[in-house]
Amino acid sequence: MAELADKTNLHIKPQKRMSPWAVARRKFMKNKLAMVSLFFLMTISILSFLAPYITTADISRVNIGSMSLEPSAEHWFGTDKSGRDVFTRLLYGGRVSLLVGISCTMLIIMFGTLIGALAGFFGGLVDTMLMRFTDFILNFPLLVFVIVLNAVFFGKLGGVPVLIAVISVLGWGGVARLVRSKILSEKENEYILSAISIGSRPSKVILKHLIPNVLSTIIVQATITFAAMIVVESGLSYLGFGVPAETPSWGNMLSASREPDVLQNMPWIWIPPALTLIITILSINFIGEGIKDALNPKSLR
Amino acid sequence: MNNIIDLKNKDKAASSHTKKETLLEVINLKTHYPIKGGFFRRTISHVKAVDNVSFSVKKGETLGLVGESGCGKSTAGRTILKLLNPTAGKIMFDGEDITNLRGSKLRQRRKDFQMVFQDPYASLNPMQMVGDIITEPIHNYYPKKKSREIKQEVLELLNRVGLPDDAYYKYAHEFSGGQRQRIGIARALALKPKLIIADEPVSALDVSVQSQVLNLLNELQDDFDLTYLFIAHDLSVVKHMSDRIGIMYLGHIVEIADKHSIYKEPLHPYTQALISAVPEPDPKRKKQRIVLQGDVPSPENPPSGCPFHTRCPMAVDKCSTITPELKEVKPGHHAACILVD
């Protein structure tokens, strides 16, 4: 043994190893549609994030002097019926829509993964209780609940954080079920038994062995959830139950098209948010599809 | 290292095993899986995977456990390591009853018994580097150890099982089946356990690689003072590895003895059928092949009396009513058959 110890070289350099993640990244980079989508999503995010530096117009101040102007050099996308610059509101609206989407997705994925992993790993009574709780949450009609809450808290709480909290609390059920089912099949592998037998605690088995191996499913689910949450936010705002009307969001901007006059004669007010919304959701879905292909060892693309 | 001499003369060691200390003793072990069904998921019946199994393993010896698939040998191994909960019975490890150990006490004890798994593809986490796989057990039990020391230890282990240094930074999918099994062995060795349960460690490997891995296991037994419980369905592999052999059928041990007795004079009809199925390398020697009729009965609804009587060529009427006990027929040779006396 002593000889062996002398010969072993502690300073071996990690060569460029293809970890499963590195393989997936390379596959994803080759997917043109996904890369274009990623580029588009990044552009939208950066523009929205930097909105205060790009435009100086006031988003909330009503300007009677310049109502419903057509697109021009001064107002790139024209102005809406209250005289606010549509381009400015589009950028700020992106901030709110993406913020709601990302926050809801993160909370939903975190909570859903936690519940699903615990239920799947421990099984038995823990599983039964957590899953019945999940069923209870899944049975709550999200839209009705949000609308009722909005009516109850009208003027008192309101605002973006409350919307995020309500959507997240009611939205994690599907993710929990999905993660549970993946964990149930993954934990049958012998490496989980071996992790237990080498003395790893349950928390370590879940975090280090189970979650990394179901992470691909979770990531794909996260992109789908992200797109869905932006739609939910826009839908609620369009109906007037989402973010407060004075806060710009893509859904709030779209709600202007409820007036037939705007819908027919002033397309510059509603087409920009509608198009941005469509392309954003499409790109998120393409990215999700790309990740799914990249993480699937059987796909050759 | 003081019993290396014993191990070098393994046969001698086997014949004198009664003098040595017992490391593992299993007493009337039962593992039943409940079958749930019906509207309220009630337990309808049980699959009796392991039923009333008793045996003991001495320090430094290898006990082979043989049986056809579904006879409960893997379940027995996993139950002994407390990866499954026993339904009844007692597991004594190194003088301590570990049957009802739970939580951190059990985790502390796990250090002394490890397992080499059957499937080298499913038993290594595909998301971990080999270095991390082998580091994990050491880190679990010696969290204060310096990472430099651990790395040194892991590299030694890798070399000892025949893998190069640069395996440390590779992922499991970059290795062949035999090399993966070596990684699994290194992981089991990392904690310097007293007992290793090898659950069909070579059945998933090519024949040419099988012997390399078996020889490695044999060498390691000498170097690390290991005791093996060797589970397999290949009789020639078990003969090569074991000092004593237990034959399992439908959750029961039907015969247990040292390997020479088993091969020279098998007492139980099932053992006789198994031994007669081993291919004979000498074409001139004609052996009588005992071919068993029918299938293995379901362990959910095992036959009454002797579990083997439905397929036994020598069965008599009372076999279906009397359950034979495992009794010592000759010194060190136990069999469970009413016809053997």
Give the C-alpha separation, A5 to B153, whole Å.
8
**Secondary structure of residue A189 in the 3-state scheme:** coil
Please give the torsion angle defined by the CA atoms of residues A58, A63, A66 and A68, in that order, rounded to the nearest 10 degrees. 90
Token look-up 């992922």 returns B171
Residue B118 maps to a domain: no
Residue B227 β-bridge partners: B195
B127: domain range? 123-190
User: Would you state the pLDDT for residue B12?
Assistant: 45
For residue A158, the model assigns a pLDDT of 61
Highest mean pLDDT among A49-53, A278-282, B17-21: A278-282
Question: What is the topology classification, in CATH, of domain A37-55+77-294?
Answer: MetI-like fold (1.10.3720)
For tokens 């009413």, the residue is B338
Which range, of A52-61, A138-147, A215-224, averages the lowest pLDDT? A52-61
Domain co-membership, B308 together with B204: yes
Closest-CA residue to A230 (of A76, A126, A99, A115): A99
Confidence of residue A14 (pLDDT cuts 50, 70, 90): low
Give yes or no: residues B97 and B131 share one domain.
no
At B98, the amino acid letter reads: I
Note the pLDDT tens digit of each residue in A148-196: 877 777 666 667 888 888 889 888 999 999 999 999 999 989 999 999 9
Q: CB distance B83–A5 less than 8 Å?
A: no
- Asked, for residue B117, whether it belongs to a domain, the answer is no
B289 has a pLDDT exceeding 90: no
Per domain, the residue ranges of chain A are 37-55+77-294
Whether A195 and B152 lie within 8 Å, measured CB to CB: no
Whether residues A12 and B166 touch (CB distance < 8 A) is answered with yes
pLDDT value for A17: 61
> How near does any CA of chain B get to the CA of A192, in Å?
8
**pLDDT tens track for B104-135:** 899 999 999 999 999 998 999 988 899 999 99
First-to-last alpha carbon distance for chain B, in angstroms, is 41
d(CA A190, CA B219): 25
Domain end position, chosen among B156, B171, B190: B190
Measured between CB atoms, does A295 come within 8 Å of chain B? no
Is B340 contained in some domain?
no
CA-based R_g, chain A, Å: 24
Candidates A125, A198, A204: best to mutate against B (most CBs of B within 10 A) is A198
Residue pair A35/A301 in contact (Cβ under 8 Å)? The answer is no
Same domain? B186 vs B229: no
pLDDT at B17 over 50: no
* A189 → chain B, closest CA residue: B122
Q: Has residue B11 been placed in a domain?
A: yes
CATH of the domain at B51: 3.40.50.300
**What is the predicted ipTM?**
0.84
> Which residues on B lie below 8 Å from A197 (Cβ)?
81, 83, 110, 113-115
Least confident of B29-43, B66-80, B149-163, B215-229: B29-43
What's the distance, CA B279 to chain centroid? 23
Question: What residues 161-190 of chain A have any CB closer than 8 A to a CB of chain B?
Answer: 189-190
The verdict on B89 and B34 lying in the same domain is: yes
Residue % of chain B over a pLDDT of 90: 43
What is the predicted pLDDT for the residue at B164?
Answer: 92
Q: Is residue B58 part of a domain?
A: yes
In percent, the amount of chain A with pLDDT more than 70 equals 86
Average pLDDT of the segment spanning B202-207: 88
The verdict on B253 and B320 lying in the same domain is yes
- Tens-place pLDDT, residues B141-184: 999 989 899 999 999 999 999 999 989 998 888 899 999 999 99
**Binary contact (A20, B115; C-beta < 8 A):** no
CA separation for the pair B74, B62 (Å, rounded) = 16
Residues from chain A contacting residue B169 (CB–CB below 8 Å):
12, 14-15, 17
Model confidence band, residue A120 (pLDDT cutoffs 50, 70, 90): very high
Residue window 189-228, chain B: list those with CB within 8 Å of chain A: 190-191
What does the pLDDT look like over A228-264, one tens digit per residue? Answer: 999 988 888 888 877 877 788 888 888 887 888 877 8
pLDDT value for A122: 92
Buried b (16+ CB within 10 A) or exposed e, A203-221: ebbbebbbbbbbbbbbbbb
- Top pLDDT among B212 and A148 is at B212
- The per-residue pLDDT for B46 is 84
Mean pLDDT of all residues belonging to chain B: 86
Cα separation of A32 and A231, whole Å? 25
Percentage of residues of chain B with pLDDT beyond 70: 94
- Name the domain boundary from B190, B215, B237: B190
Determine the Cα angle at A119 with ends A116 and A125, to 5°: 155
Q: What is the pLDDT of residues A210-231, one digit of tens each?
A: 998 898 899 999 999 999 999 9
The DSSP symbol for B245 reads E
What's the gap in Å between the CA of B104 and the closest CA on chain A? Answer: 9
| B233 and B264 fall within a common domain | yes
Q: Which of B165, B190, B215 is the last residue of a domain?
A: B190
User: How far is the alpha carbon of B111 from chain A, nearest alpha carbon, in Å?
Assistant: 7
Lowest mean pLDDT among A60-64, B26-30, B160-164: A60-64
In whole numbers, what is the pLDDT of chain A averaged over residues?
A: 83
State whether residue A17 sits within 8 Å of chain B by CB: yes
Distance, CA of A163 to CA of B311 (rounded, Å): 69
B245 in Cβ contact with B265 (< 8 Å): no
B4 touches chain A (CB under 8 A): no
Number of domains in chain B: 2
Of A187, A25, A180, the residue nearest B125 (C-alpha)? A187
- What mean pLDDT do residues B221-231 have? 93
Contact (Cβ atoms closer than 8 angstroms) between residue B188 and residue B114: yes
> B32 and B66: one domain?
yes
- Burial label, B340 (beta-carbon count in 10 A; 0-12, 13-18, 19+): middle
How close A177 comes to chain B (CA, Å)?
A: 20
Least confident of A75-84, A177-186, A255-264, B320-329: A75-84
pLDDT of residue B184: 94
Q: How far B332 CA lies from chain A's nearest CA (Å)?
A: 32
Distance CA A201, CA B140 (A): 8
Task: Let me know: does A180 contact A217? Beta carbons within 8 Å.
Answer: no
**Tell me: the pLDDT tens digits for B238-281?**
988 999 999 999 889 999 999 888 888 899 999 988 888 887 77
- Cβ pair A15:B171 closer than 8 A: no
Please indicate if any CB of chain A lies within 8 Å of the CB of B1.
no
